[in-house]
Amino acid sequence: MNRMFLRVSVAQLDSFVGDIDGNAEKVKYAMDVAEKRKSDILVLPELFITGYPPEDLVLRVSFLKANVNAVKDLIEYSKGKDLLTIVGFIDVDEDVYNAAVAFRNGRIVGIYRKRLLPNYSIFDERRYFNVGDEALVLKLGDAKIGITICEDLWSPAGPMMEEVFEGGAEVIVNLSASPYYCGKRELRKKYLSSRAFDYHTAIIYSNMIGGQDEIVFDGSSLIIDAEGRIIYEGKVFEEEIFTVDLNIDEGLRATLHDPRRRDWKYEGCKVRFEDAGVPRKDKTDRK
């Protein structure tokens, strides 16, 4: 990576509810692919380790422990790799959280806990999870990367605003398990493109694929630049690992003319910064 480009891999793969070992093996496979492509970042969907939605499996201590142990194994597997991997799992503390773990070269860089839990239609997340209470921005070299999970990105005044205006994020990563319905793909594209354009911030959107009971996930992951242009759209109802070189300097140029970043303050906002280390060399060295 140089200051202008971030090489991003997105893995929209079929995660099976309860098959923690099988799902973890898919993460390893995606890591190997992204590492061979010399990517800076690999992003997988929401709750990929457990499958989505895990529902009452969350109430089983053995299930929670297996999920945590799988993440520990993946962190060990990442030793010697310059790849920053971000994947969804259940974080277990005094309570349980729908979370994303970011790790690189054998260490955890940061853990983000989902803050906006949907509790409507097919969603029942408040029954199972507690709410996160802080934003997370990772520093990968000069790049600042904010982490969000699904619903967090759909609120115009939610975590993305805090990570961009208070945390200075130039890229927002979103791990998602967004169900399909007629017209959903076009709605997503319009909504996320407008969000990227309004905040002058690139978006990396990794969506689940496959089905669980009556719920169907279509993939259709997106990479959108800071001008709101769709750089790449993932396949529909097909597994795929795609890689894109994302220009992050476009957002910087736009924000220099945006006074909101200088004036915006929110006393209740907590942003945690974590150092993800030194990125790879220039894009020219990766070919």
Catalytic positions: 46, 114, 150
Q: How far is CA 180 from the centre of its chain?
A: 19
Q: Among 191, 104, 102, 192, which Cα is nearest to 147's?
A: 102
Orientation of helix 20-36 relative to helix 61-77, angle to 10°: 20
Q: Report how far apart, in Å, the C-alpha atoms of 169 and of each of 29, 137, 162 are.
A: 29, 7, 9
Q: Among 157, 163, 169, 161, which Cα is nearest to 202's?
A: 169
Cβ neighbours, 10 Å, residue 80: 8
Rg over alpha carbons for the chain, rounded to the nearest Å, is 17
CA atoms within 13 Å, Cβ hemisphere of 192: 34
Q: SS in 3 state form for 176-206?
A: ECCECCCCHHHHHHHHHHHHHHHHCCEEEEE
Give yes or no for a contact between 69 and 61, defined as CB atoms under 8 angstroms apart.
no
Give yes or no for a contact between 37 and 6, defined as CB atoms under 8 angstroms apart.
no
Give yes or no for a contact between 231 and 203, defined as CB atoms under 8 angstroms apart.
no
**Separation of alpha carbons 38 and 35, rounded Å:** 5
